[in-house]
Amino acid sequence: MNPDPAKIHRRKQLSQRLVFALFTLMSAAIVLVLVVILGFIVVRGLPAINWGFLTKMPENGMTEGGIFPAIVGTFCLVLGSMIFAFPIGIMSGIYVNEYTNDGPVKRFMKTMTNNLAGIPSIVFGLFGMALFVNGLHFGDSILAGSLTLGLLVLPVVIRTTEESLKAIDNSFRIGSYALGATKLQTIRRVVLPMALPNIITGLILSIGRISGETAPILFTVAAYFLPKLPHSIFDQVMALPYHLYVISTSGTNIASSRKMAYGTALVLVLIVLALNLLANALRRYFGKKVKMN
């Protein structure tokens, strides 16, 4: 008996539609979840936000006033960890992708960065406390916190750099060598400018990650309540994620600081969101600039 072609066609179309519907549904669900979370935070947090909230010290057992020191603290920590992690990460990314051939060295580096990325962030916190706070006597300080956060984000930076460089077609390098350029010249003048948009995007996304981390700063820098701004890198600071944690779980009056907590959460989300947008904008800008150069 020959199968009826029309029937087969109908069956094929049906399964096509079913699968397509399933995929659409899943994507829609994800978007929905995102919208709900964001909406929830915006609705709850927006009433708390005003100029004073962003610029004042916390008052009255953190149930009133603002979160200014936490914003400044997070800013300091992000900056500090960038200064530490970006140069080292980018350089080792370049080393891994440009200077090592496929071999034991490269495999070792890759395994190490992968493992580093897999370590839970609280372990970094513990390690940071042991090494920076106690071992090197930095105490609970911006320095110790930045270094710890830097370590945490280092694998991301290395991987981002490496992947961005790997994406550059080898023909550009070969073309440069063929003109008598050295390896360094080739990397500096051809490879890096081409990889830069992707690297920068990756870096900015990693900043988003740093600004939201709580565990690594827990034992290394974050202050429970410190209504003043830091004067040196050896000072403690407040930080947004830790502040959020504090006023949500162990504040003097959890119920009355609830509004403050949502406000803080919204600020944190907005910072991360803004960074993502900036990443996109920069990528587009650099993408154009690299071509024009």
Partner 1 sequence: MAKDYVKKPKVMAKEVNLYYGDFHALKGITLSMEENHVVALIGPSGCGKSTFLRCFNRMNDLIPNTKVTGLVMVDGKDINDRGMNVDQLRKNIGMVFQKPNPFPKSIFENVAYGLRVNGVSDAKFIAERVERSLVQSALWEEVKDKLKKSAFELSGGQQQRLCIARALAIEPSIVLMDEPASALDPISTAKIEELIYELKSQYTIIIVTHNMQQAGRVSDKTAFFYMGELIEYDDTKIIFTNPKNTRTQNYVTGRFG
Tell the smallest beta-carbon distance from residue 283 to partner 1 (Å): 14
Helices marked H in 46-103: 51-55, 68-94
47 alpha carbon, distance to own chain's centre: 27
Measured CA distances, 207 to 45, 126, 134, 203, 272 (Å): 23, 21, 26, 6, 8
Residue among 171 and 232 whose Cβ is closer to partner 1: 171
Helix, strand or coil for residue 209? helix
**Side chain identity, residue 179:** L
Residue among 231 and 291 whose Cβ is closer to partner 1: 291
**In the complex, which residues of this chain contact partner 1 (CB under 8 A)?**
101-103, 169, 171-172, 174-182, 185, 189-190, 193-194, 290-293
Tell the smallest beta-carbon distance from residue 190 to partner 1 (Å): 5
Residue among 159 and 173 whose Cβ is closer to partner 1: 173
Tell the smallest beta-carbon distance from residue 173 to partner 1 (Å): 8
Q: Contact 117/212 with Cβ under 8 angstroms? A: no
Residue among 10 and 288 whose Cβ is closer to partner 1: 288
- What does the alpha-carbon distance between residue 217 and residue 215 come to, in Å, rounded to a whole number? 6
Tell the smallest beta-carbon distance from residue 194 to partner 1 (Å): 5
